[in-house]
Amino acid sequence: MVQKGALPSLNVTMAGVQFRSPIGVAPIGNPFGRQSPEDPESFAEVNTEVLLKHVRAGAGYIYLMAGYATEATIRKVQERARLEEGRPRYVRSQRALRIETPLAPYGVEGMYWVNAPFWVTGEVMKLSEPAIERLIKVLKGKKPKDVPLIIGVSGLGDLPDAYVDGAKRREELGADLVELNFGCPQPPAMRGAVDDFFQKRFPPRFQGALIGDNDPDIVEGIIREVVKAVSIPVGVKLTAETGFPRIVGLAKRIRDAGAKYIQVVNGAIGIAPPDIYNRGKPLWPFMDGNPFCLASGSWIRVLCYRDVAAIARFVPGIDIAAAGGLVMPQHCVEVMMLGASLSQLCTGVIEQGRSLIRQSNEFMKKFMVDQGYQSVAEFIGLGQQHIKYQEDVDLTVGNVIAELDEEKCTKCGCCIDNICTALYSERGKIKIAAERCTGCGGCILACQPGALKLVLRE
């Protein structure tokens, strides 16, 4: 048993690889700011410094995104796929817009995210590869040995070849794990993507979520080829669009194809609201349009919990890395109790800074001491034993009732200006009709002062 006051180790094993901490920064693409792959030395220097700051803050691993394909693969993809005109050159530009509801009890809910005019094509891969190789080599020389390097691999079209090329090249350069990116929500926002999706027609560029949510046969075929080609663990990043219960069937095929872990969830696909006071023009600053785009933030945590719990429950034999809406240290423990081995911060780091990494590590250590856990492995999946089917849950019907704390009650009336039939006002005071109350808890959602709670009937 861990002694009170002692700080336990956060070591955890996922996909056969040991991590010094299960907490890290999710793949959010390149660090922000102007960086040109045409200058490999500068590119490597800038990105290395940013990623090592994550490590110094306590991140348990480093994550990179880097596509690669040989000349032969690029020609092969282009020959069998629909060629496109006007493919963008490598100009990395990003724009973010906050998702926010200013009315209490809501607040900041996340962000929309647009990348333009950039796309992963064969030409871009060739242009950026010297800079990516230099970055990986510099990182390998500077990062601590107990901090694994995960490299996300992007492909071209629907052929396995580019994924195989990328995975093999990353293994040669020293990656500890490779992760096949079938989750990026940006490809569905491209011109022609909707028609391509339904016709299963894949142009020679990175397809992300279009493949991950299209055809399990394609996903399984790519994974099998990559697993045969490399000796390091292979993971798969999935899109939040797959949903439940489809993700269970997809996860089984991913496991059976030889992948060692699944990362859920990537950002969803969204669109920003129009400016209703400006004839529907976009709210985006310094942009002349409103595209379908990546949408992420604290609101997506529900989808993260869902997919982690579903895979852990119905697909034994594969590890899980959890990301999406984790913005408090407690969230890292929650996803791990549902079955994840790694918890990945993204929006939380963007909004709160790297202090969230430090806070999350410190919280987990103190949590383990206070709760008597000797290792991280002891609480991974612990919440699975309490997951039940709807019909098996005992709601203690008839034995639970709402109770009002009159000292906390501000008499705002939200609880009765609602759909509840058990609450009413009498002489300016909120009353509860006990014979009508079913203990549903709906009134608690409406009570901002926190004056209402559920109790057992006497």
What is the pTM assigned to this prediction?
0.94
Compute the chain's Rg from CA coordinates. 24
Q: What percent of the chain has pLDDT over 70?
A: 93
Per-residue pLDDT tens over the stretch 177-209: 999 999 999 899 888 899 989 998 888 889 999
CB neighbourhood size of 20 (10 A): 21
For residue 76, count other CB atoms closer than 10 A to its CB.
Answer: 18
- Output the pLDDT for position 198: 94
**Could you check whether the bond before residue 316 is cis, i.e. omega within 30 degrees of 0?**
no
- pLDDT at position 86 is 47
pLDDT digits (tens, 9 = 90+) for 230-282: 999 999 999 999 999 999 999 999 999 999 999 999 999 999 999 999 999 99
Paired tokens of 447: 């009570």
Tokens read off for 385: 């034993």
Burial 217-235 (b: 16+ CB within 10 A, else e): ebbbbbbbbbbebbebbbb
Backbone phi, psi, residue 310, to 5° = -65, -45
pLDDT digits (tens, 9 = 90+) for 395-428: 998 999 999 999 999 999 999 998 899 999 999 8
What mean pLDDT do residues 362-381 have? 97
Which whole number is the average pLDDT over 305-326? 97
Q: Which domains does the chain have, with CATH numbers?
A: 12-386 (3.20.20.70), 394-456 (3.30.70.20)
Tell me, what's the pLDDT at 78?
77
Assess whether pLDDT exceeds 90 at residue 82. Answer: no
Closest CA to 71 of 157, 162, 160: 162
DSSP-assigned letter for residue 272? P
Rounded Cα gap, residues 161 and 165, in angstroms: 6
